[in-house]
Amino acid sequence: MAGDGAAAGPLEPVRAGERITTLDAVRGVAVLGILTMNAVSYGLAQPAYLNISAGGMDTWLDWAIGGAGEILFDQKFMGLFSMLFGAGIVLFHERAADKGRRANWLSLWRNALLLGIGILHAMLWMGDILILYAVCAPFLIALRNLRPRTLLALGGGMMLLAAALALAVQTTIDGDGANLGALWLAGATEEPGGAMAWFAGDAFLRALGMMLIGVALYRTGVATGARSPAFYRRAVLWGLAIGLPLSAGGFALVAASDFSPTVALAGAVPNTLATFPLAFAYLGLIALWNGRAATWLHRRVHAAGRMALTNYLTQTILGVIFLRTLFDPDDLNRSWLLLFIVAVWALQLAWSRAWLSRFRYGPFEWVWRCATYRRRQPLRA
């Protein structure tokens, strides 16, 4: 297999001077943005994640927060994070191939470790995404050398297939939504097998699709900030022009039906189709911002991106402790969740920079690296 050639220099982790700051910036914004949706499943009943009317809606402010979350954040920041994760898998493989030998096997071993981390994470919280990324990784490694246009087509096809799957499964949903169970109905506790199979299939298709797109954007220099400011301005313009009407229209369709199960999955289709345009627009905005003179906020967002795994996992730890353990779902609303989100953002922006001023890697990143290279890595900066 490519990348498994003769030995070169020793395999070592990437050094700080080799980092691509645009990737760090996008990854940092993405991991912070992911919290806006994950916090819902930490603090509210399960149906509230897909159906905002199913919990946490006590005031008009809660409705405004919930609606903005659906239109601007839901799927988009997970899509952005998936793109960066896909790019990161290929970037790791390329650097391993440049520095050593057996890059394919090292990459597969690294992602097997990620699978283990994800399984442990899922024991704490059922919403883990790392397992899915680890499952998708071999596909990316196998397809990494395809032309960017082909990768974009494959990724776009996965997103379209996810939308088609939602429409097909919608035809099987009863009018009372009983076969959606805890995915949609307030107070429901059962998770029907058919609905959960759709949820898992939809998540896989969207994750793999956005990861393939991320590899294409990395190959073409889009994800690394290598394009001109004019390119990124056009990305913002076209991404918002296409994505916002789709996302807002899908939410309006479901809201107009009074969140009826008869449109539960069909109403998610516009949001799925809006994921890439809006994620692309957000990437453009971040690239433009990252190209400006560095400020304290740039440095903190870069640090949050370099510690993305640590920040993702600690979001869950904090969410389970402060939202799930100390409160019942009926005690919280989306306004309280927003306060939690902002507090965690401030905490992670502060500690990421402070930690990396003393150490080379985040704590979970360091453990993952040591296991990947099967030897202790230097930690002190």
In a domain, 84, yes or no: yes
CA distance 206 to 136: 11
In a domain, 7, yes or no: no
Tally of domains in the chain: 1
Encode pLDDT of 149-172 as tens digits: 999 999 999 999 999 999 999 999
Total number of residues shown for the chain: 381
In a domain, 42, yes or no: yes
- Among 297, 308, 233, which Cα is nearest to 23's? 308
In a domain, 380, yes or no: no
In a domain, 277, yes or no: yes
Cβ–Cβ < 8 Å for 334, 66 = yes
User: Which structure tokens are listed for 286?
Assistant: 């971040």
- Among 372, 365, 378, 371, which Cα is nearest to 314's? 365
pLDDT of residue 19: 66
Top-confidence residue, 97 or 36 = 36
**What would the mean pLDDT of 68-85 be, rounded to a whole number?**
95
Cβ–Cβ < 8 Å for 188, 264 = no
Cβ–Cβ < 8 Å for 154, 194 = no
Q: Which helix (H) or strand (E) holds 17?
A: none
| Residue 190 identity (one-letter amino acid) | E
- DSSP labels, 46-80: GGGGT-GGGSS--SHHHHHHHHHIIIIITTHHHHH
User: Binning pLDDT at 50, 70 and 90, where does residue 305 land?
Assistant: very high
Encode pLDDT of 225-239 as tens digits: 999 999 999 999 999
Residue 310 neighbours by CB under 8 Å, 6+ apart: 352, 362, 363, 364, 365
**What would the mean pLDDT of 321-341 be, rounded to a whole number?**
92
User: Which structure tokens are listed for 275?
Assistant: 């994921």
Cβ–Cβ < 8 Å for 235, 283 = yes
SS3 260: coil
Encode pLDDT of 179-227 as tens digits: 898 889 888 877 777 788 899 999 999 999 999 999 999 999 999 999 9
- DSSP labels, 116-184: HHHHHHHHH-TT--HHHHHHHHHHHHHHTTS-HHHHHHHHHHHHHHHHHHHHHHHTT--TT-TTTGGGT
In a domain, 80, yes or no: yes
User: Binning pLDDT at 50, 70 and 90, where does residue 16 land?
Assistant: very low
Please work out, in degrees rounded to the nearest 5, the angle formed at the alpha carbon of residue 279 by the alpha carbons of 276 and 285.
Answer: 140
**What would the mean pLDDT of 120-126 be, rounded to a whole number?**
95
In a domain, 61, yes or no: yes
| Residue 163 identity (one-letter amino acid) | A
Encode pLDDT of 271-285 as tens digits: 999 999 999 999 999
Q: Which structural domain range is residue 304 located in? A: 16-349
In a domain, 377, yes or no: no
CA distance 179 to 117: 32
- On the question of pLDDT at 143 being above 90, the answer is yes
User: Which structure tokens are listed for 21?
Assistant: 């700051």
Buried b (16+ CB within 10 A) or exposed e, 348-378: bbebbbebbeebbbbebbbbbbbbbbeeebe
Please work out, in degrees rounded to the nearest 5, the angle formed at the alpha carbon of residue 228 by the alpha carbons of 222 and 232.
Answer: 60
pLDDT of residue 176: 85
